[in-house]
Chain A
Amino acid sequence: MDAIILQILNGLDKGSAYALIALGLTLIFGTLGVVNFAHGALFMIGSFCAVTVQRILSVSFKTVDPSKTDFLGNPSTYDTPYVVHWFGPEFGAGIIDWSVPLAILFAIPIMIAIGFIMERGLIKHFYKRPHADQILVTFGLAIVLQEVIKYYYGANPIQTGAPEVFRGSFDFGVLLGFDPNVIIYPYWRLVYFAFAAVIISAVFAFLQFTTFGMVVRAGMADRETVGLLGINIDKRFTIMFGLAAAVAGLAGVMYAPINAPNYHMGMDFLVLSFVVVVVGGMGSLPGAVLAGFLLGILESFASMTQVIDLIPGINQIIIYVVAIIVLLTRPRGLMGRKGVMEE
């Protein structure tokens, strides 16, 4: 029983990441109709926003320590971060410790700006081009973005820890009447889940309850008519793109403490995020979120020993098996709309 509850928690946690990435992707792909292969790269850049903030906060000056020598036999030096120097060891170190949450503030404008630039500078010209061309240009962009990151940060993963207070685990089992230390879950992963819930609700609320959202939804349904009504739908689509980039970026920032960011993490998530969006159904935001959590939970269950013993290798292919079953039984995914990307 405890094992199952733990796997549900794992599934919700994985699902949060999948749902957030798929949410951003489906805004661009399922609604603007642009096949965006650079979406994984946006997620990766979000993670590297966290790395960058950590680096900036840790910018240090060197002091020579003549009592020790370094590996070449020269007098060794030690680093003091400027923030520690300015704000004292306690508060200064505290700021560095909180670099991931601080990175959220940094990432929002950066990601929106990247989204705007991408849409205005590149994607705008591809709305009417075939999907094949969109694939080529966004895949090219994804390679360029990840190579630029590799050039500056290297290929090795970079640890970007959560603040001290979020390390350690929460004893979930006690709440449910289990013995202590049976069902524990790391605080930061719970934070990630809560964060995902907030972002997802915010996006839904934004599209549901604002005039802007109403126009965008109308534009997705029938772009031409909305255009004829004298509403500048292009501008709104730009904003949508910025929003999608921000969602992907924030998913990345918060993911950095869970797994150390590396330059190719975007590609690792790319295929998966397309599968999630399509299983959810093209053009459906709730579908993407639902599929994200569904695949997350099933993936977690498939990795249990009991399941692997039953079907060897199932943990390798569960995502794809589910995708095939869903697409064969439900022609447009879980909640897809008719006629979106079906031709």
Chain B
Amino acid sequence: MSKMNLTRRGVIKTGAVAGAGLALPTYLSAAAHSGYTNAPTGDTVTLGFNVPQSGPYADEGADELRAFELAVEHLNGEGDGGMLSTFSSKALDGTGILGKKVTFVTGDTQTKSDAARASAKSMIEKDGAIMISGGSSSGVAVAVQGLCQEAGVVFMAGLTHSNDTTGKDKKANGFRHFFNAYMSAAALAPVLKNLYGADRAAYHLTADYTWGWTQQESIQAATEALGWRTVNNVLTPLAATDFSSYITPVLNSGADVLVLNHYGGNMVNSLTNAVQFGLRDKQVNGKNFEIVVPLYSELMAKGAGANIKGIVGSQNWDWKLENQMGAKYTGTNAFVQSFGNKYGFPPSQAAQTCYAQTLLYADAAARAGTFNPCAIGEALAGFEFDGLGNGPTLYRADDHQCFKDVLVVKGAENPEDEFHLVEIVEVTPTEQVTYDPNHPMFAGGALGACNPGA
């Protein structure tokens, strides 16, 4: 009986609404007939950047926002163009997207699903945003991705590492550039074997929520395939601040590796506590005791300070990548230059993924010749590109996950300054981290049909 939509300039005919009979001059917006949500009508197009601005990930959110602003500048032909010059696709020419100037709105996810959805909804309903991007946790990413699917706009995920985002919770309108827990594990395992040998006993401390579980599952599977034993896996409450009571049982457990499946403040505290209890200097079974933090970032390394020295983990990208690993990772330096000149310090991996996502969206729209989310989805699915800092990359059509090289990194022993806290150990090639779309860790969901909204 009524045509349904979530949109701002949405469609009209519904008898459901009281007050429809008001005798006021109304006219029907032309956009209503364009066939998709928030079709831009003027000479601008609005993107929505939804990042954590309060709560523990506020600093990461701030860095994401810097990258978004930079990307918008470059799309509009301001600044030095950044990675636009190295990007393999040349559909973007610095005149906005499809001739429309890019504007943006920002919001605060508070790292809570509810608040993030409220913020994204306000962008869609009030500001007419046609794409939502950003975020710093998987719970939020999955929640906002679901919303964008219902509303009929594109979601370009920010930092989200859980397998579920492009696994059991994948959506046709959602796309992830960042890597995931499975890839971390696949990249780390061989390096761990090289560094610490095949005969190791691992003790896991895992944040007690879905991201922690998927990462623990991935790491355990990958390390056990090498011959490691898993001594124990203890779930720690998200609200824990002092991990001493979880660390002390490790001391005499017979384990010689501690895996910390924690992120953000949890990771900083658990690592600090582990080092306090002398785990890094300990000898077990005649071997040096080792600590592994599968996912980490520059900001966490900064928060952990000296404790991070020598700790191995994985990253999606690092600003030193092109300098150290060669021209395969072109784009990195271009991005670091324009980011560094504007803000005075090098970008984080969260910033890089957000910048790349914005460019990828814009490029897909330009190639598709429309902002229709379904056309953009088609343009992104199976898209192969290069020059965005990660080397040759594939946006896989089956699950909308990017496949690219993964970095194995280590906390620097003697950092020359605060920007060199992390050093690159190895780059794991794409083939090694690629998995089947029906892999059991990713099973249980379906992309479904793309939803253009109106």
- A281 part of interface (Cβ distance < 8 Å): no
Q: List residues 300-320 of chain A with CB under 8 A from any CB of chain B.
A: 300, 303-305, 308, 315-316
Nearest chain B CB to A211 CB, angstrom units = 39
Task: Please indicate the chain B residues that have their CB under 8 angstroms from the CB of A78 in the complex.
Answer: 417
Q: Are B278 and A186 interface neighbours, CB within 8 A?
A: yes
Task: Please indicate the chain A residues that have their CB under 8 angstroms from the CB of B299 in the complex.
Answer: 156
C-alpha gap A64/B11 in the complex (Å): 63
C-alpha gap A14/B336 in the complex (Å): 43
Q: Contacts A182-B252, A305-B232 given: A10-B244 contact, CB under 8 Å?
A: yes
Q: Contacts A168-B278, A316-B208 given: A14-B235 contact, CB under 8 Å?
A: no
Nearest chain A CB to B184 CB, angstrom units = 22
C-alpha gap A14/B248 in the complex (Å): 13
Q: Contacts A14-B244, A308-B234 given: A161-B252 contact, CB under 8 Å?
A: no
Task: Please indicate the chain A residues that have their CB under 8 angstroms from the CB of B234 in the complex.
Answer: 303, 305, 308
- A208 part of interface (Cβ distance < 8 Å): no
Q: Are B346 and A71 interface neighbours, CB within 8 A?
A: yes
Q: Are B241 and A265 interface neighbours, CB within 8 A?
A: yes
Q: Contacts A71-B346, A72-B337 given: A155-B57 contact, CB under 8 Å?
A: yes
Residue of B nearest to A186 (CB): B276
- A201 part of interface (Cβ distance < 8 Å): no
Task: Please indicate the chain A residues that have their CB under 8 angstroms from the CB of B346 in the complex.
Answer: 71
Task: Please indicate the chain A residues that have their CB under 8 angstroms from the CB of B252 in the complex.
Answer: 2-3, 182
- B78 part of interface (Cβ distance < 8 Å): no
Selected interface stretch from A80-88, A122-130, A255-263, A284-292: A255-263
Task: Please indicate the chain B residues that have their CB under 8 angstroms from the CB of A316 in the complex.
Answer: 208, 237, 239
Residue of B nearest to A302 (CB): B245
- Taking a contact as CB atoms closer than 8 A, the residue among A6, A71, A268 that contacts B340 in the complex is A71
- A241 part of interface (Cβ distance < 8 Å): no
Residue of A nearest to B232 (CB): A305
- Taking a contact as CB atoms closer than 8 A, the residue among B248, B303, B320, B336 that contacts A158 in the complex is B303
One digit per residue, 1 when the CB lies within 8 angstroms of any chain B CB and 0 when it does not, for chain A 132-160 equals: 00000000000000000010001111110
Q: Are B272 and A260 interface neighbours, CB within 8 A?
A: yes
Selected interface stretch from B97-105, B304-312, B379-387: B304-312
Of B55, B276, B419, chain A has the most CB atoms within 10 Å of the CB of B276
Q: Contacts A14-B242, A71-B346, A189-B244 given: A184-B56 contact, CB under 8 Å?
A: no
Q: List residues 202-220 of chain B with CB under 8 A from any CB of chain A.
A: 208
Q: Are A258 and B276 interface neighbours, CB within 8 A?
A: yes
Q: List residues 166-209 of chain A with CB under 8 A from any CB of chain B.
A: 167-169, 181-182, 184, 186, 188-189
- B251 part of interface (Cβ distance < 8 Å): yes
- A299 part of interface (Cβ distance < 8 Å): yes
Task: Please indicate the chain A residues that have their CB under 8 angstroms from the CB of B306 in the complex.
Answer: 159, 161
Task: Please indicate the chain B residues that have their CB under 8 angstroms from the CB of A156 in the complex.
Answer: 59, 299, 302-303
Q: Are B245 and A159 interface neighbours, CB within 8 A?
A: no
Q: List residues 379-417 of chain B with CB under 8 A from any CB of chain A.
A: 416-417
Interface size, chain A (Cβ < 8 Å): 49
Q: Contacts A182-B252, A262-B56 given: A157-B303 contact, CB under 8 Å?
A: yes
Task: Please indicate the chain B residues that have their CB under 8 angstroms from the CB of A159 in the complex.
Answer: 272, 303-307
- A342 part of interface (Cβ distance < 8 Å): no
- Taking a contact as CB atoms closer than 8 A, the residue among A71, A157, A167, A258 that contacts B265 in the complex is A157
C-alpha gap A104/B405 in the complex (Å): 49
C-alpha gap A181/B241 in the complex (Å): 25
Nearest chain A CB to B241 CB, angstrom units = 6
C-alpha gap A71/B58 in the complex (Å): 25
- Taking a contact as CB atoms closer than 8 A, the residue among A71, A181, A303 that contacts B245 in the complex is A303
Q: Are A268 and B241 interface neighbours, CB within 8 A?
A: yes
Q: Are B336 and A71 interface neighbours, CB within 8 A?
A: yes
C-alpha gap A136/B79 in the complex (Å): 47
- B349 part of interface (Cβ distance < 8 Å): no
Q: Are A155 and B56 interface neighbours, CB within 8 A?
A: yes
Task: Please indicate the chain A residues that have their CB under 8 angstroms from the CB of B269 in the complex.
Answer: 157, 259-260
Task: Please indicate the chain A residues that have their CB under 8 angstroms from the CB of B208 in the complex.
Answer: 316
Q: Contacts A169-B278, A188-B276 given: A268-B239 contact, CB under 8 Å?
A: yes
Residue of A nearest to B234 (CB): A305
- A90 part of interface (Cβ distance < 8 Å): no
- A343 part of interface (Cβ distance < 8 Å): no
Q: Are B303 and A10 interface neighbours, CB within 8 A?
A: no
Q: Are A150 and B58 interface neighbours, CB within 8 A?
A: yes
Nearest chain A CB to B231 CB, angstrom units = 10
Task: Please indicate the chain B residues that have their CB under 8 angstroms from the CB of A11 in the complex.
Answer: 245
One digit per residue, 1 when the CB lies within 8 angstroms of any chain B CB and 0 when it does not, for chain A 6-21 equals: 1101110110010000
Q: Contacts A6-B251, A186-B278 given: A300-B302 contact, CB under 8 Å?
A: no
Task: Please indicate the chain B residues that have their CB under 8 angstroms from the CB of A188 in the complex.
Answer: 276
- Taking a contact as CB atoms closer than 8 A, the residue among B58, B265, B277 that contacts A186 in the complex is B277
One digit per residue, 1 when the CB lies within 8 angstroms of any chain A CB and 0 when it does not, for chain B 248-278 equals: 1101100000000000010011001100111
Q: Are A304 and B237 interface neighbours, CB within 8 A?
A: no
Nearest chain B CB to A194 CB, angstrom units = 16
C-alpha gap A300/B244 in the complex (Å): 8
Q: Could you write out 25 A-B pairs with CB less than 8 Å apart?
A: A3-B248, A6-B248, A6-B249, A13-B244, A17-B242, A70-B417, A71-B346, A72-B336, A78-B417, A150-B58, A154-B59, A155-B57, A155-B58, A156-B302, A159-B272, A159-B305, A169-B277, A258-B273, A258-B276, A259-B272, A260-B269, A262-B303, A264-B55, A264-B56, A265-B241
Given A157-B303, A159-B307, A269-B241, 11 new contacts (CB under 8 A): A6-B249, A76-B416, A159-B305, A182-B252, A259-B269, A260-B272, A260-B304, A264-B55, A303-B236, A308-B234, A316-B239
Task: List the 9 closest pairs (A to B, CB-CB), nearest first.
Answer: A159-B305, A155-B58, A300-B245, A6-B248, A157-B303, A303-B245, A10-B245, A186-B276, A156-B59
